[in-house]
Amino acid sequence: MTDAPERPSAGAESSGMKQPGFDAIKGGILLGLAVLLGIVLLNVIDDGSDGPVGDGTTTEPTSAGGTTETSTPTATEAPAKTPAELIVIAVNAGARAGSAGNMSEQLATAGYTNQLEPADWSGEQRAGNSVLCKPNLDREAAALATAVGAGTQAAPMPTPPPPGGDQADCVVAVGGEATADTTATTGTTTG
């Protein structure tokens, strides 16, 4: 008879040999702690005030020995609304009857298709055209003023707003003929 090989007892298996799952768990815990430590250190050390990852401002050396600060758009700046997204209303503000309707047609041709029905701004007598927009629509106001035509003024929406101004992003106030005197004193801009 041959002797059978000796088998280790259950107690020897658990005490003398490593379990493969235990090493994986230890590694996972150590990796998790390292990631957590990295996050904490980044929050403590990086105040977000410099470099391209910070506030979008960088400094660059100039040929004269100084530095120039440049700024890039931040992720929080909303993209400009397209002409089709901008809600616009044309109002007569000193122009002859029907001028707001004509302006509305001109703007639709330029892509401003999201318009309210043209209206009259009773009692308002403007010389020349104006674009009046709600806050934070400066880029849209400049583009709309260009579409309206040369000499168009861009300004903030007044309080109280013109007719339809509470529902629109921008109001195009169609005024009477601008004269050389009114253009010089109002400081017209061409957006």
pLDDT of amino acid 22: 79
Report the SS3 class of residue 34.
helix
Q: Which two tokens stand for residue 25?
A: 């768990």
Cβ(143)–Cβ(153) below 8 Å: no
Give me the mean pLDDT over the 20-24 stretch.
78
Average pLDDT, the chain: 78
pLDDT of amino acid 187: 41
DSSP label at 180?
Answer: H
CATH of 88-183, one of 1.10.1060, 3.40.50, 2.60.40, 3.30.70: 3.30.70
Domain boundaries, the chain: 88-183
> pLDDT category, 100, cuts 50, 70, 90?
very high
The pTM score is 0.55
Range with the poorest average pLDDT among 5-19, 99-113, 148-162, 171-185:
5-19
**pLDDT by residue (tens digit) across 52-97?**
444 455 555 556 655 555 555 555 678 899 999 999 999 999 999 9
Q: Which two tokens stand for residue 118?
A: 């043209």
